[in-house]
């Protein structure tokens, strides 16, 4: 009998340890950002006056693209002088604008593309609930966001820093300030939905969706 008890106790302990070992590691918001090639930022080496002058040149060049634009002689002289000043400092204005376009494209990718490495896999993500649909007293569809009140009290985060969650079982929303864990498979599907608040509505976009298996109040793993 004692031997049987030891075997049963050992089996229970082994099962418990296996459960701990298999507990899902959390996925954090930075993990949802895409892997994008780094683009050198030459603007960091410019002083405030140079940045201002570069902005002036950029606005002038944009205006040149407008049909019927006729710059004054004074404006043309000013632009020529600004570009000459940059040339004297060995700064290639045209190259800066090419790099500017690359930086803008990189930032767009960082904000809008999903991380392919996290797709179609189960994840456990901490965050806050921004309700989209409520059934009775339970939230059944919501945006999971990294900060409390996002999309309601503050502008929406980038589309790849929001997860649209469907949870038919529903969860009672204690407060927008209450953090939760959401567990389920993450996949890529562009979604837009209105978030309503006291004095209006905001349209929110995301590139992530999840059919949640579990939603629970936040506890440290």
Query: pLDDT tens for residues 19-61?
Result: 433 568 899 999 999 987 777 888 989 999 999 999 999 999 9
CATH of the domain at 177: 2.40.50.870
The answer to whether the Cα torsion of 13, 17, 18, 24 is positive or negative is positive
Residue 142, domain member (yes or no) = yes
Residues 106 and 120 in one domain: no
161 or 104, which is more confident: 161
Distance, first Cα to last Cα, the chain: 38
Average pLDDT in the 144-161 region?
A: 90
**What is the overall mean pLDDT for the chain?**
86
Residue 77 has pLDDT above 80, yes or no: yes
Residues 100 and 185 in one domain: no
The packing angle between helices 48-64 and 93-112, to 10°, is: 90
Query: pLDDT tens for residues 86-143?
Result: 999 999 999 999 999 888 888 888 888 999 999 999 999 999 999 999 999 999 999 9
Residue 4, domain member (yes or no) = no
How high is the pLDDT of residue 111? 82
The pTM of the full predicted model, rounded to 2 decimals, is 0.70
How high is the pLDDT of residue 9? 40
CA atoms of 131 and 3, how far apart (whole Å): 55
116 or 17, which is more confident: 116
Query: How far, in Å, are 55, 57, 66, 92, 96 from residue 63 at the CA level?
Result: 12, 10, 5, 21, 18
How high is the pLDDT of residue 195? 85
Give how many domains the chain has, as a whole number: 2
Do residues 91 and 50 lie in contact, with contact meaning Cβ atoms separated by under 8 Å?
yes
Query: pLDDT tens for residues 168-217?
Result: 999 999 898 999 999 999 999 999 998 876 556 688 999 999 999 999 99
Identify the domain boundary among 112, 135, 159.
Answer: 112
Do residues 216 and 170 lie in contact, with contact meaning Cβ atoms separated by under 8 Å?
no
Nearest to 164 by CA among 178, 151, 179: 151
Give residue 149's pLDDT band: very low, low, confident or very high (50, 70, 90).
Answer: confident
DSSP string, 29-68: GGGGS--------GGGGS-HHHHHHHHHHHHHHHHHTSTT
Residue 175 is part of which domain span?
Answer: 114-217
CA atoms of 93 and 85, how far apart (whole Å): 10
């Amino acid at each position: 009998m004692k031997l049987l008890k030891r075997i049963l106790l050992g089996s229970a302990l082994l099962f418990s340890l296996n459960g701990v070992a298999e507990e899902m590691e959390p996925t954090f918001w930075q993990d949802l950002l895409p892997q994008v090639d780094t683009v050198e930022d030459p603007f960091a080496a410019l002083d405030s006056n140079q940045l201002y002058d570069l902005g002036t040149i950029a606005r002038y060049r944009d205006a040149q693209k407008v049909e019927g634009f006729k710059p004054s002689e004074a404006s043309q002289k000013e632009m020529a002088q600004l570009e000459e000043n940059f040339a004297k400092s060995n700064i290639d204005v045209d190259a800066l604008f090419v790099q500017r376009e690359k930086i803008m494209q990189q930032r767009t990718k960082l904000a809008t593309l999903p991380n392919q490495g996290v797709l179609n896999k189960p994840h456990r993500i901490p965050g806050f609930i921004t309700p989209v649909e409520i059934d009775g007293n339970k939230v059944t569809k919501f945006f999971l966001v990294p900060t409390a009140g996002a999309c309601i009290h503050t502008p929406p985060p980038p589309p790849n820093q929001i997860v649209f969650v469907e949870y038919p079982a529903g969860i009672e929303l204690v407060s927008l300030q209450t953090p939760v864990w959401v567990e389920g498979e993450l996949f890529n599907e562009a979604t837009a939905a209105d978030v309503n608040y006291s004095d209006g509505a905001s349209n929110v976009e995301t590139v992530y969706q999840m059919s949640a298996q579990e939603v629970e109040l936040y506890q440290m793993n």
